[in-house]
Structure 1
Amino acid sequence: MTPRLNTIDIVVSDMDTAIAFYARLGLHFKIDPHSPEHAGCDLPNGLHVMLDTEAFRTPFLPGRSAPVGGPRTLLCFEFDAPGEVDAKYAELTGAGHRAIAEPFDAFWGMRYATVADPDGNGVDLYAPLPAH
């Protein structure tokens, strides 16, 4: 049997702050009516993304502690054009989110930037560069 990656669960310290951040990237979470500490978002490609507060996840992950240092996981958002990467980076950092890597033209042919979500998770923003 081959497992299928169909859900990503992000542990957050503040649900409202996380929902607001990801809304800027086009993800619209719905709070679970049974638990305000759990929210979900279905993406068009079939992937389901969840947000769970630390308080919600702690009973299921005994001994869990938040990662330290740089982001250990990155969520990657593709844009159609390099200018869109720059604009979204400016929007997110202008809203007070921490910059990790300013927009740059990567040697692999993409415009790339990285910001931190409210809990320090890396969020890559990228778009293909025009062919020269």
Structure 2
Amino acid sequence: MGMHIDLIGLVVADMGRALAFYRDLGLAIPADADREPHVEVVLPGGLRLAWDRADVVRGFDPGWTPPSGGARMGLALRCDGPAEVDEEYARMVGLGHRSRLEPWDAFWGQRYAQLQDPDGNPVDLFSPLD
């Protein structure tokens, strides 16, 4: 099979607010992208991450509605070490972004924390403990 995952797309209510969150996480997103209906960046390794405004999605899928009751998908960012999980979490919360779970040592051997992007998607920060 010749398929591979090439793009992960997120639907957003407010493009500028969503992109500000992901810029704060370190993604290189041009400042003038805030007014665009569709934005994408190429991540290290070639995977693309994209954002589409809800009105754009409804333009080709009139029956689309945002999920309710919690996210069905999340993103996870690997940090260079356990201390970086704590530092990035504290930095993001200090910038006013929402926390879901404070850093903890998970039973599966990782330092873990969870933020929430402006549209309610969980964004995990993690690193192996050793």
**Other-structure match for 1:127:** 127
CA contact (8 A) 2:25 2:92 kept: no
Alignment: residue pair count:
129
Structure 1 equivalent of residue 75 of structure 2:
75
Compared CA separation, residues 118 and 89, structure 1 to 2 (3 A): same
Q: How does 1:14-29 map to 2 (within 5 A)?
A: 14-29=14-29
Contact 2:77 2:124 in 1 (8 A): yes
- Cα RMSD over matched residues? 1.8
- Cα displacement (A) at 1:20: 0.8
Identity of aligned residues (%): 46
Cα pair 1:31 1:39 within 8 Å, conserved: no
**Partner residue, 2:110:** 110
Residue 55 of structure 1, CA deviation: 1.2
Deviation of the 1:2 alpha carbon: 4.0
Task: Look up the equivalent residue of 1:27 and give its one-letter code.
Answer: L
Q: In the superposition, relative to structure 1, how do residues 77 and 8 fare at CA in structure 2: closer, same or farther (>3 Å)? A: same
> 1:14-71: per-residue Cα shift (whole Å, max 9, x none)?
11111110011121234898x8111110012110111111111111222111111222
Q: Once the 2 structures are TM-superposed, how far is the Cα of residue 118 of structure 1 from its aligned partner?
A: 0.4
Residue 11 (structure 1) aligned with residue 11 (structure 2): yes
CA distance in 2, matches of 1:56, 1:113: 32
Q: TM-score, normalised by structure 1?
A: 0.89
Give the TM-score taking structure 2 as reference length: 0.90
Which residues of structure 2 form unaligned runs of 5+? none
Compared with structure 1, are the counterparts of its residues 31 and 92 closer, same or farther at alpha carbon in structure 2 (3 Å cutoff)? closer
Q: Which has the higher helix share?
A: 2
Closer, same or farther: CA 31–98 of 1 in aligned 2, 3 Å? closer
Query: Do structure 1's residue 40 and structure 2's residue 40 form an aligned pair?
Result: yes
